[in-house]
Chain A
Amino acid sequence: MEVSLDKRYPVAAGIEQAWAVLKDVRATAACMPGAAITEQTDDTHYKGTVKSKVGPSTLLFGGDIEVLGLDEAARELHMVGKGADKSGSSASMDLTAHLEPAETQDTCTLVGRAVVKVNGKLAQFGSRLLVPVSDVMLGQFADNFSAAAAAAMTRPAVVEAPAQQVDAAPQAQPSAVPPSQQIDTPPAPAPAKELNALALAWAVFKSWLRGLFGSRA
């Protein structure tokens, strides 16, 4: 089961600040609901987890993230995440995101194209939910990203001068900043995020079973 999503989200921060977050894989990953980077294996490879914990349901995806491209000039990040959970599902997302200036100096637009693929139980029981669920997840990602970018504004130290990176090959250099110095991206307003995550994941799990159980709890 595969779907492509093209999205545009407003960001409540200037393009430079937003780029500071976007090019930082850890910071960007942290904006994905329930996602976390657990380990960096080399310049472009990371290990991470995505956890959706909802009512009775827990889906823990462990997997790899590879940064395929980080284009300073185009303000574009291209990364692929692949993972599997223990109950027999796997999922992957090929994400290309770049930033465009907006009308005002202190806002910009996050433009994303994601190709989401799911296999196993997820695809068998929940394929029809893929689009709406991905929509919600990306929507939350955008909110968190915007919040992170806004927060980053107050931390000019971590924003490298573009000049240094202008000639950067598409090959990513996220390790230019050692993990220890990475900005700790503030989470989006916790209650809100949690509520969404709960409702969302509950939706996912219950929805997988839609069409599966012609009966009632």
Chain B
Amino acid sequence: MNAPTDPALQERTAALQGMGDSRLRKEDARFIQGKGNYVDDIKLPGMLHMDIVRSPLAHARIKRIDKSEALKVPGVIAVLTAEDLKPIKLHWMPTLAGDVAAVLADGKVHFQMQEVAVVIAEDRYAAADGVEAVQVEYEELEAVIDPYATLAPDAPVIREDLAGKTTGAHGAREHHNHIFTWEAGDKSAADAAFGVAPVTVAARIHYPRVHPCPLETCGCVASFDPVRGELTTYMTSQAPHVVRTVVSMLSGVPESKVRIISPDIGGGFGNKVGVYPGYVCAIVASIVLGKPVKWIEDRIENISTTAFARDYHMDGELAATPDGKITALRVNVIADHGAFDACADPTKFPAGLFHICSGSYDIPAAYACVKGVYTNKAPGGVAYRCSFRVTEAVYLIERMVDILANRLGLDKAEIRRRNLIRKEQFPYASPFGFEYDSGDYHTALAKVLDAVDYKGLRAEQAAKRADPNCPTLMGIGLVTFTEVVGAGPSKMCDILGIGMFDSCEIRVHPTGAAIARMGTITQGQGHQTTYAQIIATELGIPSEVIQVEEGDTSTAPYGLGTYGSRSTPVAGAAIAMAARKIHAKARKIAAHLLEVGEDDLDWEIDRFKVKGDDARFKTMKDICWAAYNNTPAGVEPGLEAVHYYDPPNFTYPFGVYLCVLDIDRGTGETHVRRFLALDDCGVRINPMIIEGQVHGGLTEGYAVAMGQQMPFDAQGNLLGNTLMDYFLPTAVETPHWETDYTVTPSPHHPLGAKGVAESPHVGSIPTFTAAVVDAFEHLGVTNMTMPHTSYRVWQQLKECGAAL
């Protein structure tokens, strides 16, 4: 965006509220007045309520299910079990990862709180009473919780339904609890580099299981119209079109008669990508009973059963020269996928885009191997506010680089300076085969170090370390990360065989007002605001008159949805391309109206001008009107376009984050003194919204690093599945955030934009860990496992003899 200097032009530009404008959000009007329309707000005539009977045991055989008492409860209409779903073959369902998952437990439960039966009743109170009245008899089986132990030869068989299956969706299965083994990079090259390396470091980095925990839980209202044979389902889904395809496959209802509507969504963060048993059962119940059926998860169910994230156990190794130049990376991962492989990744990538783990560094040789295993835990493995497994990858490489710096006695900034990919190396081919589109890492790093007076901070830290009576330990965490987002090029990325393109359809009306529809769905990112800004700049019509619609599969064009920061990189590009088709037609019409050739016209903000004659022009408003009554010969009337955008490459946002914190040696409490996040997401569409997204991502990162955990006991009981124990920081605990940015446009994206919402989550988590570990470095500590609660930090203090 090179802004005009002429005040008149500036005024016309401002009037559009286009790209680069911190336009206030269009969606806010309804939210601040309590008029949002979330799934639990939807009430249909005759609507019934569904509640779920869940297993108290993590691994058990079901000996008996007795519905009789439940059916006596006033208001209870029906109780469904796997036996009821068998005739219609819906007791199991396919997962996005090529596995199957039980809809309702089929003779056996595989994780605590697995769905065993559903109760449908006249209201949610009766449904809850009914759930308590269903009697289920279990025979407890030994539960397998540890992802290493699960591969022991004599480990209990978790998935009896897979007995004898020696190959899965991703190749050979070498053990009854093994799902897949996936490799990337060049093993022999990496091994060779390690063979001759003068310096090597190795560490086991555990990224614990966490949950996205959006404030709104999952839910749906399924409504089958037996007369029309149409199934309409309102659903908290980040990918309504894919869900429609899945629902059609499962139910047999033609896709054209399945309508999925994602209404307002109270946060997704990856939790709302999957298809859950609750959805399927509500749909079945609605089809069977011919009435609308609502299912809304409670918070305990949400944390315990729908879509966890992470749970990667990573063995990382770096090879380097004595002066700290990294020569090779090796990483072996055990991925705990729970009882069913329900990870939401592009089909060909069972470990998502984990092979971005060479990070921002120029590493000649690299190899990664990820082994997925079954345990008696809930399924999931979703991208929690990040692109597929990118958080795990960034965490690994940033930890390893710090560990190498420690080994070599190098400053954390210096080792990065020596290894960061240089500006002139872009487009950069990573050892794992990615082509990083653009970046200027050294500039960003220098900007952050200067902003915080890095040297001064290190001096302060040295002084504090020298004082044995200092009541605190000071830590400085520095991270230089690169994300890979915008999945993705259909030559590499598909889900259920559907390429991961996205779409936009724009119709401009005679008055110059436009309606635009996309295949994505906002969950707070402000699409209705920012998408309109793209069109405003491309077409020269004000954002204010551009209506953006998403989430209704009957009206929106097919798209893969919103997750993995793909909306701006993919849908954003589709919007620009569709607008450009309209722009091209508008030029024809303008030439016709001005009686000149198309080449004699210049585009200026909101109008076509005849070259060299400022007095002769047609505004876009004029052209829109003409499009419906005065088009040139051979040009059809109307002004609309559709574009399905298949990105040529991913985009690679990057950032440099720095955290300063102080640890209370008495209690182990950490106080984040300062956190600066510099992001480069390419061209910025709405700076206000970008900053808001960064604040949110940083806060979620803080929660993950400092408190979120899903601890299981030996029997597979999940301890701490309410908001008392599961850490969502309040305004009091949340640090104050400082943000900054650089702009390095993506060369292949029509707008030069890269996507931002997830960078702050991906980048901040290793920054907090780096800061905590750095506080202990002089005491010989090189790594600590999240979450860094006061309790765990105090244990480290004590171990180092630093506790007061």
Do any CB atoms of chain A lie under 8 A from CB atoms of chain B in the complex? yes
Given known pairs A86-B132, A87-B132, A214-B724, the reply for A120 and B714 (CB within 8 Å) is no
Given known pairs A89-B56, A90-B56, A120-B57, the reply for A211 and B717 (CB within 8 Å) is no
Given known pairs A88-B56, A119-B715, the reply for A212 and B133 (CB within 8 Å) is no
Contacts of B720 in A (CB 8 A): 124
Contacts of B138 in A (CB 8 A): 84, 90
Contact among A86, A120, A212 with B717 in the assembled complex (CB-CB below 8 Å): A120
Contacts of B718 in A (CB 8 A): 124
B57/A124 in contact, CB under 8 A? no
Residue-wise interface mask of B (703-742) relative to A, using a CB-CB cutoff of 8 A (1 in contact, 0 not): 0000000000111011111101100000000000000000
Which residue of chain B has the shortest Cβ distance to A82 in the bound complex?
A: B140
B719/A90 in contact, CB under 8 A? no
A211 to B713 Cα, complex, angstroms: 17
Interface range on chain A (Cβ under 8 Å from partner):
20 to 34
Given known pairs A86-B133, A90-B56, the reply for A120 and B725 (CB within 8 Å) is no
Contacts of A121 in B (CB 8 A): 56
B724/A212 in contact, CB under 8 A? yes
Contact among B56, B132, B135, B722 with A120 in the assembled complex (CB-CB below 8 Å): B56
Interface range on chain B (Cβ under 8 Å from partner):
20 to 34
In the assembled complex, how far is the CB of residue B79 from the closest CB belonging to chain A, in whole angstroms? 14
Residue-wise interface mask of A (182-217) relative to B, using a CB-CB cutoff of 8 A (1 in contact, 0 not): 000000000000000000000000000001111000
In the assembled complex, how far is the CB of residue B140 from the closest CB belonging to chain A, in whole angstroms? 7
Among B79-138, those with CB < 8 Å from A are 112, 132-133, 135, 137-138
B717/A123 in contact, CB under 8 A? yes
A2/B714 in contact, CB under 8 A? yes
B713/A127 in contact, CB under 8 A? yes
A212 to B722 Cα, complex, angstroms: 7
Contact among B54, B133, B714, B724 with A88 in the assembled complex (CB-CB below 8 Å): B54
Task: Tell me whether chain A's interface is mostly helix, strand or loop, or mixed.
Answer: mixed
B713/A123 in contact, CB under 8 A? yes
In the assembled complex, how far is the CB of residue A88 from the closest CB belonging to chain B, in whole angstroms? 5
Given known pairs A119-B56, A120-B112, A212-B724, the reply for A86 and B135 (CB within 8 Å) is yes
Which residue of chain A has the shortest Cβ distance to B58 in the bound complex?
A: A119
A117 at the interface (CB under 8 A from B): yes
A64 to B58 Cα, complex, angstroms: 20
Contacts of B135 in A (CB 8 A): 86
Among A100-123, those with CB < 8 Å from B are 117, 119-121, 123
In the assembled complex, how far is the CB of residue A95 from the closest CB belonging to chain B, in whole angstroms? 17
Which residue of chain A has the shortest Cβ distance to B133 in the bound complex?
A: A86
B719/A123 in contact, CB under 8 A? yes
A1 at the interface (CB under 8 A from B): yes
Among B132-176, those with CB < 8 Å from A are 132-133, 135, 137-138, 140
A185 to B720 Cα, complex, angstroms: 42
B725/A211 in contact, CB under 8 A? yes
A2 to B712 Cα, complex, angstroms: 12
Contacts of A127 in B (CB 8 A): 713, 717, 719
Which residue of chain B has the shortest Cβ distance to A89 in the bound complex?
A: B56
A120 to B138 Cα, complex, angstroms: 12
Which residue of chain B has the shortest Cβ distance to A120 in the bound complex?
A: B56
Contacts of B721 in A (CB 8 A): 124
In the assembled complex, how far is the CB of residue B128 from the closest CB belonging to chain A, in whole angstroms? 11
Contacts of B715 in A (CB 8 A): 1-2, 117, 119, 123
A26 to B137 Cα, complex, angstroms: 24
Given known pairs A86-B132, A87-B132, A90-B138, the reply for A119 and B724 (CB within 8 Å) is no
Contact among A2, A119, A212, A213 with B57 in the assembled complex (CB-CB below 8 Å): A119
Contacts of A92 in B (CB 8 A): 140
Contacts of A88 in B (CB 8 A): 54, 56
Contacts of A124 in B (CB 8 A): 717-721
Q: Which of B56, B133, B140 has the most CB of A within 10 A?
A: B56
B717/A90 in contact, CB under 8 A? no
Q: What 4 pairs across the A-B complex have the smallest Cβ distances?
A: A120-B56, A123-B717, A88-B56, A212-B724
| Contact sample, A vs B, 27 pairs, CB 8 Å cutoff | A1-B714, A1-B715, A2-B713, A2-B715, A82-B140, A84-B56, A84-B137, A86-B135, A87-B132, A90-B56, A90-B138, A117-B715, A119-B58, A119-B715, A119-B717, A120-B717, A123-B713, A123-B715, A123-B719, A124-B718, A124-B720, A124-B721, A127-B713, A211-B724, A211-B725, A212-B725, A214-B724
Binding site for B on A (CB under 8 A): 1-2, 82, 84, 86-90, 92, 117, 119-121, 123-124, 127, 211-214
A119-B56, A119-B140 are known; give 9 further A-B pairs, CB within 8 A: A82-B140, A87-B132, A88-B54, A90-B56, A120-B56, A124-B718, A124-B720, A211-B724, A212-B725
